[in-house]
Amino acid sequence: MSNVGIVFISHSEKMAEGLKDLVLQAVGNIPVEAAGGTDEGEIGTSLEKIQEAIQRVHSDKGVLVLFDLGSSVMNAEIAIELSGLEHIKIADAPLVEGGYVAAVESSLGKSLDEVLHAAEHIRGKLKRA
């Protein structure tokens, strides 16, 4: 079974890698990559890291990209445009919670739109009564 690929973009390499480790331990072997920090190992984002991560997890099922801060999305949009690949979407979702839910949905073989919907709709469901 093919699964939707997941890419976590963070200004922190440790945050992106930690989230990748978390979801792989929780849901098993799905296509997930972390693109965190700059090429020099500093805080920030790297267009090249994002492009490479998208390439590694891309399949006919598509790729869902999640990000931490606003400038990450700009690099994600550029990476997607330059890739020439289809079926790549950016989630407007919290990175950790949305990423976790997206990984679970991907592991269940859901479509890109279903994975996107689940990630984006986790917002607000975490509030305590």
Catalytic choice (11, 58, 87, 117): 11
Q: Does residue 124 sit in helix, strand or coil?
A: coil
Say how many C-beta atoms besides its own lie within 10 A of residue 72's C-beta.
Answer: 24
**Per-residue exposure over 33-54, b if at least 16 CB sit within 10 Å of its own CB, e if not:** bbbbbeeeeeebbbeebbbebb
Residue 11 is among the residues annotated as catalytic for this protein: yes
- Catalytically active residues, by annotation: 11
